[in-house]
Amino acid sequence: MCRHLAYLGPPVSLRALLCDPPYSLLRQSWAPRDMRGGGTINADGFGVGWYPREPAPGPRRGPDRPEAGPARGGEPVRYRRGTPMWSDPTLPELAAATVSGAVLAAVRSATVGMPVTDTAAAPFAGGRWLFSHNGVVRGWPDSVATIAAGLPVRDLLTLDAPTDSALLWALVRDRLRAGASPAAAVADTVTAVAAAAPGSRLNLLLTDGATVVASVAGHALSVRTGADAVLVASEPLDDEPGWQAVPEGRLVVATAAGARIDALAGA
């Protein structure tokens, strides 16, 4: 089942994050170490979203040409495809040339019956948010039809793809728009969908470039915090010390300064 990661910290190249580690997302696309609940490889697409660093201030400054703002918090840029990460001809150069201090990325193993398209690959995006889902909604689509009916019709008409993951993003986004905190938006969505579709696997991952929220509900998740950096990933990217496996039923709320692990229900 899909693998995902999020990073906050000092700027790094996408290559250093996604391609270079011994068990990188790139390697996980063809040789994941921990596939449970179906599938063997993650060949049905991939995606990366990152928050660009502010451009350096130009030679002329003034009210119309402000100093560069903070490095995080603006709208992200995305690159996603419905093909295997290892076969993409553009990614190596793009990843080598792109540097960011806030990244969310995923590789996809499509659930049986769900389409394989560029737009079905995470990250899903809206405004400053990036989102990914590792798992499956059981009984799709009937089990969640009633929940989906609570969304604005426009949101349903503009889903990125007719998949469980795209609907989960619409549900999280709807809560964010209503003013929920990122932690509450993720936790409430997991709780509601788990009640409607028992047995679902609902590892969700959400960031705005400054905070990462991740649920652990049916799949593995690990966290590594370091000097002003945090990495949240479906599986450790290397054998270095410092990775902490997050137990089932938890919610991770992390910034570059550190990670908090709460009970999922009480978030």
Residue 114 touching ligand GLN (CB under 6 A): yes
Stretch that binds ligand GLN, among 53-61, 148-156, 161-169, 241-249 (CB under 6 A): 161-169
Exposed / middle / buried, residue 154 (Cβ in 10 Å: 0-12, 13-18, 19+): exposed
Q: Output the smallest distance, CB 135 to ligand GLN, in A.
A: 5
Q: How far apart are CA 157 and CA 98, in angstroms?
A: 33
Q: Which helix (H) or strand (E) segment is 263 a member of?
A: strand 258-263
Q: Which residue is nearest to ligand GLN (CB)?
A: 2
Q: How far apart are CA 42 and CA 11, in angstroms?
A: 27
Between CA 57 and CA 67 the distance in angstroms is: 6
Instruction: Build a one-symbol-per-residue string for 116-145: x at contacts with ligand GLN by CB under 6 A, - elsewhere.
Output: ----x------------xxxx---------
The one among 24, 28, 98, 163 contacting ligand GLN by CB under 6 A: 163
Whole-angstrom distance, CA of residue 79 vs CA of residue 215:
24
Binding to ligand GLN (CB under 6 A) within 16-45 occurs at: 39
Return the structure tokens found at 210. Answer: 């400054």
Known active-site residue 2 = yes
The structure tokens 């039923």 sit at 249
Question: Contact between 165 and ligand GLN (CB under 6 A)?
Answer: yes
**Selected catalytic residue, list 1, 2, 121, 136:** 2
Write out the residues near ligand GLN by the rule CB under 6 A: 1-2, 39, 108-111, 114, 120, 133-136, 163-165
Catalytic residue numbers, as ranges: 2
